[in-house]
Amino acid sequence: MRIVIPALMVVLITDAVLLSGAPAAPLSSMRSGFQPLPKPGEKIPLGAQNYFTYSFVKPPKLGTAVMRVEIFTLGGVRDTSFAVKGDADMPSMRGAHASGDKDFSRSAKGAYLLPVRLVMPGDWEVSLTFVKQGKTVFRGAYLFDL
Instruction: Give pTM, 2 decimals.
Output: 0.77
Give the pLDDT of residue 99: 85
Q: Which residues of 40-70 are buried (b: 16+ CB within 10 A; e: fewer)?
A: eeeebebeeebbbebbbeeebeeeebebbbb
Q: CA-to-CA distance for 13 and 7, rounded, in angstroms?
A: 10
Nearest residue to 130 via CA among 118, 116, 141, 117? 141
Contact in structure between 100 and 87 (CB atoms under 8 Å): yes
Give the pLDDT of residue 97: 75
Contact in structure between 82 and 74 (CB atoms under 8 Å): no
The mean pLDDT value of the chain amounts to 84
Reported as type and span, the H/E element at residue 16 is: helix 7-19
Give the pLDDT of residue 32: 75
Give the pLDDT of residue 30: 58
Instruction: Give the domains, in start order, of the chain with CATH numbers.
Output: 26-145 (2.60.40.10)
CA distances, 50 to each of 42, 46, 72, 75, 135 (Å): 13, 5, 6, 9, 15
| pLDDT, tens digit, 9 for 90 and up, residues 105-140 | 999 999 999 999 999 999 999 999 999 999 999 999
pLDDT at 19 over 90: no
